[in-house]
A and B are shown apart, each in its own frame.
Chain A
Amino acid sequence: MTSLTAKDKDAVRTFWAKVSGKAEDIGAEALARMLAVYPQTKTYFSHWKDQSPTSPSARKHGITVMTGVADAVSKIDDLKGGLLSLSELHAFTLRVDPANFKILSHNILVVMAIMFPTDFTPEVHVAMDKFLAALALALAEKYR
């Protein structure tokens, strides 16, 4: 996949500045949708008492994930280096199949479209899609 251009990074940082205040809601919604629309993703959360999309565990986890995304925005100039320890966590401990990064990314984009319909233009969409793909790639870096 292509690397992020300066234009992409600007678009991501600008859009993120607009939406970061709602990061927790975005994360919780995106995770809830992932569990609802792609039920196979629930297999990673068998340790939760309540795996329903609106459970407190799901909300908490959505927030955790989105905090990671926010961090990645600040490290956009070196995602591989910046996300090294997160990659090790996902590779050796969590062992989430990287196909699921794509699924969660899609749901993050859907939530952004819902919450920011006028700001989430096609140009912002492509920049965010590229960014999330680059993020996923950095997360999968240590897998093999």
Chain B
Amino acid sequence: MVEWSDFERATIQDIFSKMEYEVVGPAALSRCLVVYPWTQRYFGNFGNLYNAAAIIANPMVAKHGTTILHGLDRAVKNMDDIKATYAELSVLHSEKLHVDPDNFKLLSDCLTIVVAAKLGKAFTGDVQAAFQKFLAVVVSSLGMQYH
């Protein structure tokens, strides 16, 4: 089980309680599709992903980005057992979606950068450490059911 300090718990709850999921989700996913274009392989039916402008304006990308963030919410609300919380989602990503788990890290790096840009100076080194630790646990849990 992952140990969370009081600071880490408070930081994660604080960041997500103030987050606009419909802004941050789309920003993170579209950034991921632009910065790591090979991730587009999973979105063949999303229409126009031809260039950065198209990706950022794509409504399916926006909707899916929001979906992903709401999925993260589950971990925020169950920090003491993220592994169990994501067991089903892990199976889904492995068996049905066939997503290479390395992609989870790519998206999580983009999410970190989007949140950093939003929070500015408030995203201190300690806050970054807590946020990245949280995302690392999420990423690991999502990869857990792959075999």
Contact = CB atoms under 8 A, between A and B. Distances in A.
B120 A36 contact: no
A37 B117 contact: no
A106 B35 CA distance: 13
B34 A125 contact: yes
A80 interface: no
A113 B140 CA distance: 25
Contacts of B114: 113
A109 B125 contact: no
Q: How would you classify the secondary structure of chain B's contact residues: helix, strand, loop or mixed?
A: helix
Contacts of B113: 109-110, 113, 120, 125
A143 B55 CA distance: 39
Contact of A110 (B34, B112, B118): B112
A37 B132 CA distance: 8
A113 B35 contact: no
Interface range on chain B (Cβ under 8 Å from partner)? 20 to 34
Contacts of A125: 31, 34-35, 113
B128 interface: yes
Interface in B101-120: 109, 112-114, 116-120
Interface range on chain A (Cβ under 8 Å from partner)? 10 to 19
Contacts of A35: 125
A112 B123 CA distance: 12
Nearest to B113: A113
A35 B128 CA distance: 12
A114 B120 contact: yes
A40 B1 CA distance: 22
Given A32-B125, A37-B132, A109-B113, A122 B30 contact: yes
A124 to B, nearest CB: 10
Contacts of B123: 110, 114
B121 interface: yes
Interface string B74-114: 00000000000000000000000000000000000100111
Contacts of A117: 117-118, 120
A5 to B, nearest CB: 13
B20 interface: no
A120 to B, nearest CB: 7
B126 A114 contact: no
Interface of A: 32-33, 35-37, 53, 106, 109-110, 113-114, 117, 120-123, 125-126, 129
5 contacts: A35-B125, A36-B128, A113-B113, A122-B35, A122-B56
